Amino acid sequence: MLLQLRVVNYALIEDLTLNFSSGLNILSGETGAGKSIVIGAINLLLGERAAVDQIRQGHDAAYVEGMVSCEPALQDEIEKILEKAGIKGNDELIIAREIFRTGRSVARVNGRAVPVSFLKEIGQLIVDLHGQHQHQSLLRPDQHLELLDSFGGVEIISARKKVAECYDKWQVQKKELARLGENSAERERNIDISAFQLKEIREAELYPGEDLELSRREKILANAEKICTLTARAYADIYAGEEGSPVEALVDRLKHSTTLLTEAAGIDQSLSPLLDLLETASAQLEEVSHFLRDYQLKLEFEPDELAAIQDRQNQINSLKRKYGGTIEETLAFAARLEEEIERLKNSEALAEQMEKEIAELEKDLFEKGSELSKLRRETAARLEGLLEECLEELALHNASFKVMLTEKDVPSARGFDQVEFLFSANPGEDVKPLVRIISGGEVSRVMLALKTILARQDLVPTLIFDEVDSGVGGATVQKVAEKLAHLAHHHQVMCVTHSAQIASMADCHFRLYKETTADRTLTRAVGLKESEIREELARMLDGASIDQVSLQHVDSLLERAQRFKEETAN
């Protein structure tokens, strides 16, 4: 639902904010007051083309912003669209559009810049605008199937779900069959390739962690001489001492220190615990010296071993590049190759089995699709009858409305049918696609009729009708008013009108007017209170002259409107 619309420096509007309500919102005013400007601003939020001449004279940019509450039924679908653009969804959206004199246009949703096409994608879920503008689901043939199925209700939705499930299984099996290869020669080639790859991996006899062990061993061998020198010096410092050097080894110096401390502890027994520490240190030094001696005896530099390790590393790296980033991934790839080879060897029989299953699924899909098509044809006949009755009430006398169902060349999850609505406003004329022949006034009334019939199933929360009363009067206008009020029980409805009968049904009423200040003309709007509504309806009935008679007529309209809304509330 559109909660709020703010328009800045757009056409004759300097800064205007409208707070809409649920139910029926009426926009009235003299011709040229700016009602169409408001509709144009909403169109910008729906991703329609922007023009530089829409910017208010003397300003460099125009700005339009709408606050939209997301209906629970559409929440998941809207969140999926928002997620694609990296926008976090919530219960409300702020949709904004700014156009500049340079020709540039910037669109934002919840503060995040998005392509204008994104506004169209999300806009068609939340607003249907009918009249002289082109944001109309009725004029999009791709939506006609959805509208027909919505009218069909639970029965069609259930049948369509069965078709979709069968179609998905059919597609999965077809893809699996394609994976087996188109013929035996191709399967044999795939077996040979997989067998060669598997042999190369298995003959290498890899094991997890081998590359890390080789890397550690290569480092030791490459630095064997340096390690030997360092450990020899450490051994001499700790145990053997340097030949010809007056400096004693650490173990000898420690023994001398122990002798001195023993004599001191004989005098002061508090030093005795230190003797234990020295003995522990002496034992540890002995252990280190023995390890270093043995290490030097084992350490040998083998050039052939180093070359062998490097060759093995090259082999492992080559396999990792081909089949996986690690040894573990390469071994996992080998396991998959074994499964693939086994599958391909058995594929002849498997392919035959899958072809039988696909044939069964195709038969099932055809049966379910045929049942769905039958239901759609029955539904189409009911919709045609109801819609023509409704159009008659809306002064489209003898209008013809047809639902054309044709079979598609290729089935889809939605079945075999392609649907398009056809219309003729005049007797004797052939019905033609709506988008080709319908006028703005006619499309509003056709959509009003269709939306009235589909009111409970239709998920689009906000419907906007621009001068739906154009070219009609008398009892027909009253029918239009009643249908708008009926729609407003299930949707937020906005209507631009010159009709007092329609305006009398309002749950929220705005009057737009022009004001000239400092040689500049501005469009302004005011939300009308109860007493102001009476005056505005009187003006709409009798022009500038407002007298007691016109006010009595207004009261009669308001009473009838209130009575109708109460009777149809449920």
Instruction: Identify the CA nearest to 343 among candidates 200, 181, 185.
Output: 181
Strand order in the sheet with 432-433: 400-412, 415-424, 432-433
> What pLDDT is attached to residue 460?
83
List average pLDDT for each run of 10 residues in the chain, which is 570 residues long.
94 93 93 88 91 91 94 83 83 92 92 90 84 60 86 90 95 84 73 91 91 87 81 81 67 84 86 87 87 80 80 90 90 91 79 87 94 95 90 84 92 93 86 74 76 75 82 79 89 91 94 86 91 90 76 91 85
What's phi and psi for 71, nearest 5 deg? -70, 140
Strand pairing category for 92-100 and 105-109: antiparallel
Domains of the chain: 2-143+460-528 (3.40.50.300), 210-338 (no CATH)
How far is residue 294's CA from residue 288's CA, in Å, rounded to a whole number?
10
Query: In this structure, what token pair is assigned to residue 297?
Result: 């005896």
Secondary structure element (H or E) that encloses residue 366, with its range: helix 347-393
> What pLDDT is attached to residue 342?
85
- Contacting residues for 316 by C-beta, under 8 A, at least 6 apart: 204, 206, 210, 211, 214, 327
- Is this prediction's pTM over 0.85? no
Q: Which amino acid is at 199?
A: K
> What pLDDT is attached to residue 255?
86
How far is residue 391's CA from residue 480's CA, in Å, rounded to a whole number?
10
Measure CA 321 to chain center: 36
Secondary structure element (H or E) that encloses residue 328, with its range: helix 327-345
> What pLDDT is attached to residue 301?
65
CB 350 within 8 A of CB 343: yes
